Structure 1
Amino acid sequence: MKMSGGVEWALHCCVVLTAAPAPVPAGRLAELHDVSGSYLAKQLQSLSRAGLVHSVQGHAGGYRLTRPAGEITVLDVVVAVDGPQPAFVCTEIRQRGPLATPAEMCTAPCAISRAMAAAEHAWREALRAVTIADLAESVTGDYGPAVFDGIRAWLR
């Protein structure tokens, strides 16, 4: 399953926001991740439209998570950025060509469509099982407990 690069940036931002004591401006998040501000702004807008982050206006404004990180899944972020459509869409190839199967014989999905649907389901369930809090905990495990202290200090 191929995801856009925006998913990666959006996930990184969500993990950083778990450590932020105050709303974080989009420009600051872009600087932290060394990515274009306009590119990151698109991902943040997608997260905002999906209700995963909230934009706070004003001098001390920026983005913050709308709910606890343990209630936001990786799948929520993927769907916010890349949309809900499945990775595979059956086009009923079996009904084409010189040996086409008649439409009336195609009342159930074919073996290929079933296999791809099962893979899609497993992939989505795996992403649904991981939260932003889980990712933050893994980051702490990978880099030590001071990693988020460093992020908080840098964001100030």
Structure 2
Amino acid sequence: MSEGVEWAIHSCLNLAWVEPAEAVSAAQLAAFFALPAAYLNKQLQALVRAGILTSTSGPRGGFRLARDPDTISLLDVVTAIEGAQEAFRCQQLMKSRPGARKDIDYRKECLVSQAMRQADLAWRRTLADRTIGDIKTDVEKLDPDTPELTRSRLAELR
């Protein structure tokens, strides 16, 4: 998984603490964690295409969450950044072994492929079950000052 996923999740989390009418620029979000703005902007644009963020141009433009944080799963963010393909892609190595049959799709029959597909499904279910809102709530329980500190820091970066 690319670092862009981590950046995207943290950006969504920061945007969850911003007032709803407030937009935050890519430069502000990048400066918050000292990230390269151009590369972060690519991640943010992918989130816009996925319907997770909205963007407006202009001097007061920037990014906002397009949906309630409780409806944005971690899987939504991962899929927006990395795509929907499975992490493991069976190359059907079993077709090269002695006694292999040409008429069998080993992506379905191979026990290694089945185990990896099950692991991928479990991983996706876990990500689908956790939302930006869940993480927001957990962070606020650990450090109640985080929302205000985040808003203040983003305001300083304007």
Q: TM-score scaled by structure 2?
A: 0.91
**CA offset at residue 72 of structure 1?**
0.4
Matches within 5 A, 1:88-99: 88-97=88-97, 99=98
Instruction: Give the structure 1 partner of residue 101 of structure 2.
Output: 102
Residue segments in structure 2 that go unaligned for 5+ positions in a row: none
Aligned 1:1-150 pairs, distance under 5 A: 3-21=1-19, 22-97=22-97, 99-106=98-105, 108-142=108-142, 144-150=143-149
CA distance in 2 between partners of 1:58 and 1:20 (Å): 18
1:54 aligned counterpart, secondary structure: strand
By how many angstroms is 1:141 displaced? 2.4
Look up the SS of the partner of 1:67 in the other structure: coil
Deviation at 1:104, TM superposition (A): 2.3
* Matched residue type, 1:114: Q
**Cα distance in 2 for residues equivalent to 1:6 and 1:100:** 44
Tell me how far apart the structure 1 counterparts of residues 23 and 64 of structure 2 sit (CA, whole Å).
5
Distance in 1, Cα, partners of 2:8 & 2:147: 17
Deviation at 1:122, TM superposition (A): 0.2
- In the TM superposition, what is the alpha-carbon distance from 1:17 to its structure 2 partner? 0.3
RMSD: 1.3
Name the CA distance, whole Å, in 1 between partners of 2:4 and 2:128. 18
Where do 5+ consecutive residues of structure 1 fail to align? Answer: none
Percent identity over the alignment is 38
Q: Deviation at 1:109?
A: 2.2
Paired with 2:105 and 2:27, the residues of 1 have a C-alpha distance of 52
Deviations 1:75-118 (A, max 9, x none): 00000001111000111111114x04112244742111110110
State the one-letter code of the partner of 2:100. T
Structure 2 counterpart of 1:151: 150
Distance 1:91 1:29, change over 3 A: same
**Quick one: distance in 2 between partners of 1:139 and 1:101?**
53
- CA–CA distance in 2 between the matches of 1:5 and 1:11? 10
Larger mean Cα displacement after TM superposition, 39-48 or 106-115: 106-115
